[in-house]
């Protein structure tokens, strides 16, 4: 029976890449490898469990190998998949990379081989995260709270905050703003003129969650949305497809009315 090693790492790109680095040696020894971002609910027989501490140097080596051997596009695809909510993402990334680097020969097209179940699964994760991230680029709404801080509250299915950071930092470099993932209680924090960072498990005060919204701006935004709407051309079905209900509760123009 093939021996199995289950590596438990942090739920981050660096954590998963550290797991890939450590798992590579084990794989070369003929062991089956699983990379988990949290301990499995049930222990498996004949498996060795190992906790992997995030190592920036190891993660950097994996990053450089992917970019150099498989290309920047492959690296970006893996980054999206690494931000999936799916529990098996680490294992899929590991075996997809072993396919792309099999026998010490890099094959940039290997990750297009959807006959490989790990690569097929990885492609589905990447697509789901990519779609959700791009939706939030348009659906994020900020409100002004205490000390002129801009706050946006979102409830993404996947932990996409790190993917949103570069976009909003580029567009609001001189503002103090926070994008808050209420599902995970994580905050993407951007101090004016400084780099953004993620604060994990940072619950916001209830009054901040409601927000001391500047009412005149909220009213202007709602009036604008109503003024550009043409009732004769309303298509509720298309509206639900382009803007699902789950995104609307945090959008200023809908307020408390989620049609």
Q: Are 33 and 94 in contact (CB under 8 A)?
A: yes
pLDDT for 251:
54
- pLDDT at 18 (0 to 100): 97
At residue 243, the pLDDT reads 59
Residue 257's pLDDT is 41
Percentage of the chain lying above the pLDDT 90 cut: 61
pLDDT at 42: 78
Cα separation, 122 vs 71, whole angstroms: 17
- pLDDT bracket for residue 252 (50, 70, 90): low
| Model-wide pTM > 0.85 | no
Q: Report the b/e string of 96-123 with b at 16+ CB within 10 A.
A: bbbebbeeeebeeebbeeeebebbebbb
Any idea what DSSP says for residue 42?
A: S
| Residue 160 or 234, more confident | 160
pLDDT in tens, 40-80: 777 777 889 999 999 999 999 999 999 999 999 999 999 99
What would the pLDDT profile of 95-151 be if each residue is shown by its tens digit? 999 999 987 788 888 889 999 999 999 999 999 999 999 999 988 988 888 778 888
What is the average pLDDT score of the chain? Answer: 84
Q: What is the predicted pLDDT for the residue at 43?
A: 77
Question: What residue has token string 């209420």?
Answer: 182
Q: Residue 244: its pLDDT value, please? A: 63
**Rounded average pLDDT over 29-50:** 87
Question: Which pLDDT value is given to residue 64?
Answer: 97
Beta bridge partner(s), residue 33: 5
Residues 66, 125: Cα–Cα separation, whole Å: 18
Window from 33-37, 77-81, 125-129, 240-244 with minimum mean pLDDT: 240-244
Q: Is 70 exceeded by the pLDDT of residue 23?
A: yes
* pLDDT (average), residues 205-223: 48
**Predicted confidence band of residue 5 (pLDDT cuts 50, 70, 90):** very high
How much is the pLDDT for 131? 95
The three-state secondary structure class of 41 is: coil
Instruction: Look at residue 211 in the predicted model and tell me its pLDDT.
Output: 47
* pLDDT above 50 for 166: yes
């Amino acid at each position: 029976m093939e021996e199995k090693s289950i590596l438990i790492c942090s739920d981050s790109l660096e954590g998963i890449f550290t797991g890939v680095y450590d798992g590579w040696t084990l794989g070369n020894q003929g062991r089956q490898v699983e990379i988990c971002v949290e301990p499995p609910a049930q222990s498996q027989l004949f498996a060795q469990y190992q906790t992997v501490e995030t190592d920036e140097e190891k993660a950097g080596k994996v990053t450089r190998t992917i970019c150099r051997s498989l290309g920047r596009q492959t690296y970006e695809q893996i980054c999206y998949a690494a931000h999936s909510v799916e529990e098996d993402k680490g294992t899929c990334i590991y075996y997809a990379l072993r396919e792309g680097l099999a026998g010490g020969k890099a094959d940039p097209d290997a990750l297009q081989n959807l006959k490989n179940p790990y690569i097929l699964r990885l492609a589905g994760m990447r697509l789901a995260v990519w779609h959700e991230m791009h939706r939030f680029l348009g659906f994020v709404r900020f409100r002004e709270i205490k000390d002129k801080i801009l706050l946006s509250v979102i409830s993404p299915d996947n932990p996409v905050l790190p993917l949103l950071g570069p976009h909003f930092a580029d567009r609001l470099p001189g503002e103090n703003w926070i994008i808050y993932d209420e599902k995970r209680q994580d905050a993407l924090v951007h101090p004016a003129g400084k780099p953004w960072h993620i604060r994990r498990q940072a619950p916001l005060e209830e009054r901040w969650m409601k927000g001391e919204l500047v009412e005149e701006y909220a009213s202007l935004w709602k009036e604008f949305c109503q003024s550009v709407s043409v009732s004769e051309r309303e298509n509720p079905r298309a509206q639900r497809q382009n803007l699902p209900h789950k995104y609307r509760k945090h959008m200023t123009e809908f307020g408390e009315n989620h049609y």
